[in-house]
């Protein structure tokens, strides 16, 4: 397997606080890699650094060997590294289908002027986006609610819509921000199955998560961070028996971790 | 030099008090109160009537200004802003309402008090005069009163029950509601307090600069600027913004006197550059 | 709306503004109405620009600055350099668009009230600059600007010389209305194309928009530049009509009015700014007869309307439709 994403020596300071300290790991093509850690471990900062939503203080992220750390988020997305958000981040006054169609932006062949004038290319784009959006909605089981206004959706559907938006950009690697947060057992199982199917579609998935049992079930490899530093990396089995990890989780007042 | 600083401090104290009221309303309701300057003018005219015309003590007049505006503010929140916020698709719609109320106050003030510049007798006579520093006593008194009001406001927000509730509300409206804060009640109290502060400054300043019906708009703009410098919705920011603008005006009017309006051109341009670099002002949170 | 209904309502609208209104005005002899309607048309162009910035989620109280800028650019070119008015018209728009790109790039990062306030300050900066700069002739302004000359391309006269006309008022009316129609047609197309959706995506969530690959800084600047272009064109025609421009020709009050026109017509409707401008301008004019109560009645009506139709006049249609479908 090929290394798709290399995180090397990534560090982020906010004033005197070191949120992420010298973290390095790699993500291989078509794997599901999870970053876990107790609350406040620096997961979400790390996530934003990888997605180019934050600039690192030092260190870098390489995607296919190219440095992407100082790029604007939309350029990173153009290169194929796309993030999802937690559920409230959607285009809330658009319908589900419109949300997914607009997210096809990167696939458009026509430019803004073309869309304004309604050129052939632009019309072909519109057509293609519609077809592709329907396919994505079908894939994620959202077809039945495609004309609902997004802000009226229940929680579970919002999460799926977030992933649908991510898929529409046609990413190489999809970064999922806590995809199982706030879900009950059944919902989590469904979401786990969905993430697996993403990989079957040929995607590489990096997820930042809290829910240990789900992560154990789904990941090929796991990176554990605590206090901004990487403390372990390995397969779920290796992580489960790692003394440092157990200590980190027991030491924190976190919820049951399923070890 | 001392003169410039003293003038700046005196102006700054007044400005800070105006900005505090504006920022309070913004923090609680996310409403940009276009009518703030008009509230100030109304406060000025009430003190003019009670103290200047009826000859009652200045303290009574100041109280009347504050209380009248507090009542007006409470009514505005309850019958206008609350309704519009509830019914409108976009939060910004309150700006039309705020602008309309500003016009309304302008019209009322013009009808009742006319367009003449009005002044009142000095509250304290005499001038403080040492080497290089001249300051009329009434300015010192008004400046000191303003600082007392600022201190009282801060203490009230910090330690009183309504103050704490309003701070919770400003931080997170939904969370405050879940914690059992009576959101509507405290929004109304906050709006009333913001309006009251505007009225009090109007009452204070009428004794120095007088008042006329046309200055509401310009005062609002100055108040907006102070709030932006400091950061919208933050008490410390409003105070800092007030003093900074006061100082800048004082320095600018001395240094750039012969160029007339250039003072404001420089201040405005500097402000635009500053905000481009620090989009949330000195202490503001994103989105205010 | 079906295609036929759409075509019919567009033709009806065009027939009214280009034929019916002039015919009625000539029949009744109320030529003063030309000036009013010309103003409405021009102000609605400037307001349309403000509406467009609302559409990307920014409250713009700085359109007065661009109207002023456009007016001065046209006036200076015509008076000092003898350029034809017809050439200065697009130049004024482009100048404003270029200026707005320079100004907009840093300030469009601001949101909410911060952007609103900075643009308000921008209006003041423009006025103070017009007072201070040598080329704008200070407080005295630029006066006796010649009327637009003839426009001919390849020897064919397309627009006759305004100065030689019996009724330049009608000519100005037609010019303003034509520009208004073009402006709103462009806006309509923009909003209903994919660009409109992209703009909406900015309005609803900029972070998400950038995560799906939208260059938000670029799109914001483009929308703002178009908005300012409208402001500049409106200002340039205004200067030509009044044959003068002063630092006080467009002030903070005008900037606020442009914004109010948008709110009043309805932020959710492309034609909101047009209707808003028409009603507010005519309303104010009609209330002139009430003398000193003019402002009081005007503001009271505004507050009342705001209470009942907080989403603008055009939301009335939606309300009625909803009621109709509920009953039916």
Q: For chain A, which residues make up each domain, given as ranges?
A: 1-80+173-259, 86-170
Upper half-sphere CA count for residue B260 (Cβ side, 13 Å): 7
Q: What is the ipTM of this complex?
A: 0.87
| Bridge partners, A205 (sequence order) | A32, A174
For residue C78, the domain's CATH number is 1.10.3470
Q: Is residue C313 in some structural domain? A: no
pLDDT at position A157 is 85
Q: 3-state DSSP call for residue B120?
A: coil
C225 and C141 in a common domain? yes
Residue range of the domain that includes C10: 1-30
Both structure tokens of C205: 């969530």
C146 and C59 in a common domain? yes
Q: Does B90 touch chain C (CB under 8 A)?
A: yes
Q: Report the gap between the CA of B220 and the closest CA in chain C (Å).
A: 11
CATH of the structural domain A86-170, one choice from 3.40.190.10, 3.40.50.300, 3.30.429.10, 1.25.40.80? 3.40.50.300
Contact B55, B61 (CB under 8 A): no
Q: Does C304 touch chain B (CB under 8 A)?
A: no
C48 and C16 in a common domain? no
Q: Judge: A93–C193 Cβ closer than 8 Å, yes or no.
A: no
Q: Is residue C208 in some structural domain? A: yes
pLDDT at position C326 is 67
Both structure tokens of C6: 């759409």
C57 and C14 in a common domain? no
Query: Which chain B residues are within 8 Å of C125, Cβ to Cβ?
Result: 265, 268-269, 272
C35 and C13 in a common domain? no
C61 and C12 in a common domain? no
Q: Report the gap between the CA of B19 and the closest CA in chain C (Å).
A: 14
Q: If phi over 0 gives left and psi between -120 and 50 gives alpha, with beta otherwise, what is residue C137?
A: left
**φ and ψ of A13, to 5 deg:** -110, 135
Q: Report the gap between the CA of A258 and the closest CA in chain C (Å).
A: 33
Query: Which chain C residues are within 8 Å of B287, Cβ to Cβ?
Result: 111-112
Contact B43, B71 (CB under 8 A): no
Contact A82, A173 (CB under 8 A): yes
Q: Is residue C312 in some structural domain? A: no
Across the interface, of B99, B276, B288, the residue whose CB is closest to C112 is B288
Q: 3-state DSSP call for residue A77?
A: helix
**Maximum CA extent, chain B:** 61
Q: Using CB atoms within 10 Å of the CB of residue B44, give its burial: 0 to 12 exposed, 13 to 18 middle, 19+ buried.
A: buried
Averaged pLDDT for residues C184-198: 93
Non-local CB neighbours of B136 within 8 Å, separated by 6+ positions: B122, B126, B127, B128
pLDDT, tens digit, 9 for 90 and up, residues C63-90 = 999 999 999 999 999 999 999 999 999 9
Q: Judge: A72–C215 Cβ closer than 8 Å, yes or no.
A: yes
Q: 3-state DSSP call for residue A15?
A: coil
Q: Report the gap between the CA of C294 and the closest CA in chain B (Å).
A: 8
pLDDT at position A258 is 45
Contact A96, A124 (CB under 8 A): no
C135 and C52 in a common domain? yes
Number of domains in chain C: 2
Domain spanning A1-80+173-259: which superfamily?
Answer: P-loop containing nucleotide triphosphate hydrolases (3.40.50.300)
As a whole number of angstroms, the distance between CA A124 and CA A108 comes to 9
pLDDT per residue as tens, chain A (259 positions): 678 999 999 999 887 788 899 999 999 999 999 998 887 778 889 999 999 999 999 999 999 989 998 899 999 999 999 999 876 788 988 999 999 999 999 888 888 888 888 888 889 989 999 999 999 999 888 899 999 998 888 877 888 899 999 999 999 999 998 888 878 888 888 888 888 988 888 899 999 988 888 888 899 999 999 888 998 899 998 888 888 888 877 665 444 444 4
- Of B162, B215, B193, residue with least CA distance to B44: B215
Residue length, chain C?
A: 328
pLDDT at position C328 is 46
pLDDT at position B176 is 85
pLDDT at position B252 is 81
C277 and C212 in a common domain? yes
Q: Do domains A1-80+173-259 and A86-170 have the same CATH topology?
A: yes
| Bridge partners, A23 (sequence order) | A10
Contact C272, C51 (CB under 8 A): yes
Query: Which chain C residues are within 8 Å of B108, Cβ to Cβ?
Result: 296
Q: Judge: B93–C311 Cβ closer than 8 Å, yes or no.
A: yes
Mean pLDDT for chain C overall? 90
């Amino acid at each position: 397997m090929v290394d798709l994403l290399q995180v090397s020596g990534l560090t982020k300071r906010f004033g005197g606080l070191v949120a992420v300290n010298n973290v390095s790991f790699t993500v291989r093509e078509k794997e599901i890699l999870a970053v876990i850690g107790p609350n406040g471990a620096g997961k979400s900062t790390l996530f934003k650094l990888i997605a180019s939503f934050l600039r690192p203080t030092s260190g870098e992220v390489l995607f296919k060997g190219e440095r992407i750390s100082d790029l604007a988020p939309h350029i990173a997305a153009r290169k194929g590294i796309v993030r999802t958000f937690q559920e409230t981040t959607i285009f809330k006054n658009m319908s589900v289908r419109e949300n997914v169609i607009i997210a096809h932006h990167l696939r458009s062949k026509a430019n803004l002027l073309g869309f304004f004038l309604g050129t052939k290319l632009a019309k072909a784009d519109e057509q293609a986006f519609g077809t592709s959006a329907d396919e994505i909605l079908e894939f994620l089981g959202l077809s039945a609610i495609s004309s609902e206004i997004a802000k009226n959706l229940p929680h579970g559907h919002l999460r799926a819509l977030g992933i649908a938006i991510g898929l529409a950009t046609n990413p190489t690697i999809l970064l999922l921000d806590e995809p199982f947060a706030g879900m009950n057992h059944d919902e989590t199982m469904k979401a786990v199955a969905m993430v697996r199917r993403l990989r079957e579609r040929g995607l590489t998935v990096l997820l930042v998560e809290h829910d240990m049992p789900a992560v154990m079930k789904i990941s090929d490899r796991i990176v554990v961070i605590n206090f901004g530093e990487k403390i372990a990396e390995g397969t779920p089995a290796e992580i489960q028996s790692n003394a440092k990890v157990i200590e980190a989780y027991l030491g924190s007042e976190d919820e049951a971790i399923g070890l | 030099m001392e003169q410039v600083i003293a003038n700046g401090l005196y102006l700054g104290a007044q400005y800070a008090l105006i900005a505090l009221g504006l920022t309070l309303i913004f923090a609680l309701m996310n409403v940009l109160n276009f009518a703030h300057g008009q509230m100030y003018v109304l406060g000025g005219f009430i003190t003019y009537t009670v103290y200047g015309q009826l000859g009652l003590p200045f303290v009574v007049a100041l109280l009347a200004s504050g209380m009248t505006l507090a009542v007006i503010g409470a009514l505005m929140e309850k019958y206008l802003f609350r309704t519009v916020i509830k019914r409108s698709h976009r939060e910004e719609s309150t700006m039309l309402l705020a602008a309309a109320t500003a016009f309304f106050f302008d019209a009322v003030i013009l009808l009742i008090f006319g367009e003449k510049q009005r002044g009142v007798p000095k509250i304290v006579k005499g001038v403080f005069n040492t080497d290089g520093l001249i300051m009329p006593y009434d300015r010192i008194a008004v400046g000191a009163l303003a600082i007392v009001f600022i201190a009282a406001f801060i203490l009230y927000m910090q330690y009183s029950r309504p103050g704490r509730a309003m701070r919770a509300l400003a931080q997170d409206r939904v969370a405050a509601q879940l914690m059992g804060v009576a959101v509507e009640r405290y929004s109304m109290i906050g709006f009333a307090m913001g309006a009251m502060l505007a009225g009090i400054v109007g009452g204070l300043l009428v004794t120095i600069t007088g008042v006329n019906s046309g200055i509401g708009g310009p005062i609002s703009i100055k108040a907006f600027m102070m709030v932006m410098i400091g950061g919208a919705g933050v008490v410390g920011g409003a105070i800092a913004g007030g003093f900074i603008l006061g100082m800048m005006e004082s320095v600018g009017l001395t240094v750039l006197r012969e160029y007339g309006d250039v003072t404001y051109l420089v201040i405005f341009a500097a402000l635009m550059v500053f905000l481009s670099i620090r989009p949330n002002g000195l202490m503001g949170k994103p989105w205010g | 709306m079906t295609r036929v209904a759409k075509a019919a309502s567009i033709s009806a609208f065009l027939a009214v503004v280009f034929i019916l209104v002039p015919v009625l005005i000539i029949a009744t002899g109320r030529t003063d109405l030309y000036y009013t309607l010309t103003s409405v048309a021009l102000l609605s162009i400037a307001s349309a620009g403000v509406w467009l910035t609302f559409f990307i989620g920014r409250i713009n109280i700085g359109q007065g600055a661009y109207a002023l800028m456009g007016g001065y650019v046209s006036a200076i070119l015509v008076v000092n350099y003898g350029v034809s008015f017809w050439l200065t018209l697009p130049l004024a728009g482009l100048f404003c668009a270029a200026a707005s790109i320079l100004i907009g790039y840093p300030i469009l990062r601001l949101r909410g009230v911060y952007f609103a306030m900075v643009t308000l300050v921008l209006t003041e900066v423009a006025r103070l600059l017009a007072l201070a700069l040598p080329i704008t002739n200070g407080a005295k302004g630029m006066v006796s600007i010649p009327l637009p000359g003839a426009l001919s391309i390849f020897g064919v006269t397309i627009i006759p010389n305004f100065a030689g006309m019996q009724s330049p008022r009608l000519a100005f009316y037609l010019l303003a209305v034509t520009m208004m129609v073009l402006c709103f047609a462009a806006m309509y197309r923009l909003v209903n194309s994919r660009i409109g959706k992209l703009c909406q995506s900015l309005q609803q969530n900029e972070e998400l928009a950038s995560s799906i690959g939208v260059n938000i800084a670029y799109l914001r600047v483009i929308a703002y530049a178009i908005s300012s272009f409208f402001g500049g064109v409106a200002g340039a025609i205004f200067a030509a009509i009044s044959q003068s421009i002063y630092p006080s020709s467009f002030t903070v009050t005008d900037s606020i009015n442009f914004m109010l026109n948008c709110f009043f017509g309805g932020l959710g409707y492309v034609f909101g700014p047009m209707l808003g401008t028409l009603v507010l301008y005519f309303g104010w004019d009609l209330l002139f007869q009430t003398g000193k109560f003019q402002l009081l009645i005007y503001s009271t009506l505004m507050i009342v309307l705001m209470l009942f139709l907080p989403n603008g006049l055009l939301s009335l249609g939606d309300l009625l439709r909803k009621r109709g479908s509920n009953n039916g």
